[in-house]
Amino acid sequence: MPDFYGLSPQRSTSLRAKPLSGIRVLDLTRLLPGPVATLHLADMGADVVKIEDTEAGDYARVMGRVRETGNPGAPPMSDFFRLVNRNKRAMRLDLKQPQGREVFLRLAKDADVVVEGFRPGVMAKLGVGYDALAAVNPRLVYCSITGYGQDGPYADRAGHDINYIGYAGVGDQIGTADAPVVPNFQIADLLGGALTPVMGILAALIDARSSGRGRHVDVAMTDAVLAHAILPLLGFLEHGKTPARGSGMLDGGLPCYNVYRTRDGLWMAVGALERPSRVR
């Protein structure tokens, strides 16, 4: 059976390796965006090593229901943590200590990718920023995932998904004419902080294979969301302003593309934009 990416093995006597087989990723990220990005890489065959600090580690370990893993010696962990960190190996390092930095530099020397989600400047302060790692491994692809990028007036600000979609203008577009709503899908975290980094990492890996040089992939989740806000941007280009919330072609402005309550108290989604489906 195909996996999430439709990567079915060839019908032969041996299984074909996945496309990222042989790629090693050092994952320093926490919570949702970075772990989902490296989860996608792991699903495509990469060897992902999740590296946590020696204290609390990834806070996702205790978010939501926490239960025993069933593996002797493994600590209890949340279902959320297991969901976004499956298919990875794990270790703990204290990068604030010389011994921890030394171990990490040795790991980076043989790695293909490093993914981190700290505030700008934290990795450099620890002595394991892009310049330090590129010095020991020029082919390394180093990806930083932040809310607002490595520089600029908002670079050092903390934030979450709701802040990033708000600043990108997408939060204002979600909801009805009466009020915006908080979506139950983390657009900035998953589109901006997971899929966008994966795209940049894969492109940089291809370039490193041919050029022998890696690069620093700087992902700002807010920028990534704005870049994908196609219809609001189209409205601005056509009319000088974004469409009012709930009035656009794909957000409730058309009766043929909307949701309707049914007699049994549920909801039905209607999507009939093409002319043949509307005129019969």
Average pLDDT of span 190-215: 98
Measure Cα distances from 91 to 20, 39, 104 in Å: 21, 16, 11
> Two tokens at 87?
């298919």
CB-based contact 125:98 (threshold 8 Å)? no
Measure the CA–CA gap between 121 and 251, rounded to whole angstroms.
39
Average pLDDT of span 61-80: 91
* The pLDDT of residue 190: 98
Q: Is 189 labeled as catalytic in the residue annotation?
A: yes
142, 146, 120, 125: which is closest to 133 by C-alpha? Answer: 142
Measure the CA–CA gap between 66 and 124, rounded to whole angstroms.
34
* The pLDDT of residue 277: 54
Q: Is 160 labeled as catalytic in the residue annotation?
A: yes
pLDDT at 178 over 60: yes
**Average pLDDT along the chain:** 93
For 245-262, what is each residue's pLDDT tens digit?
Answer: 999 889 999 999 999 999
For 37-49, what is each residue's pLDDT tens digit?
Answer: 999 999 999 999 9
CB-based contact 47:87 (threshold 8 Å)? no
* The pLDDT of residue 72: 82
Vertex 69 angle, CA 73 and 3, to 5°: 120
Q: Given pLDDT bands bounded at 50, 70 and 90, which one contains residue 1?
A: very low
* The pLDDT of residue 74: 81
In this predicted structure, which of 68-72, 151-155, 164-168, 204-208 has the lowest mean pLDDT?
68-72
pLDDT at 14 over 80: no
Catalytic residue among 189, 218, 223, 251: 189
Instruction: Count how many Cα atoms sit within 13 Å of the Cα of residue 49 in the half-sphere of its side chain.
Output: 17
* The pLDDT of residue 70: 84
Q: Given pLDDT bands bounded at 50, 70 and 90, which one contains residue 106?
A: very high
Average pLDDT of span 80-86: 97
Average pLDDT of span 148-162: 97
In this predicted structure, which of 111-115, 153-157, 200-204, 247-251 has the lowest mean pLDDT?
247-251
Average pLDDT of span 18-31: 98
Instruction: Count how many Cα atoms sit within 13 Å of the Cα of residue 34 in the half-sphere of its side chain.
Output: 30
28, 25, 59, 65: which is closest to 42 by C-alpha? Answer: 25
CB-based contact 201:141 (threshold 8 Å)? yes
Q: Given pLDDT bands bounded at 50, 70 and 90, which one contains residue 138?
A: very high
160, 156, 158: which is closest to 121 by C-alpha? Answer: 156
34, 85, 7, 29: which is closest to 200 by C-alpha? Answer: 34
Q: Given pLDDT bands bounded at 50, 70 and 90, which one contains residue 69?
A: confident
pLDDT at 9 over 50: no
Average pLDDT of span 204-229: 98
Catalytic residue among 94, 160, 172, 228: 160
Which residue has better confidence, 9 or 79?
79
pLDDT at 2 over 50: no
Percent of residues, the chain, with pLDDT higher than 70? 94
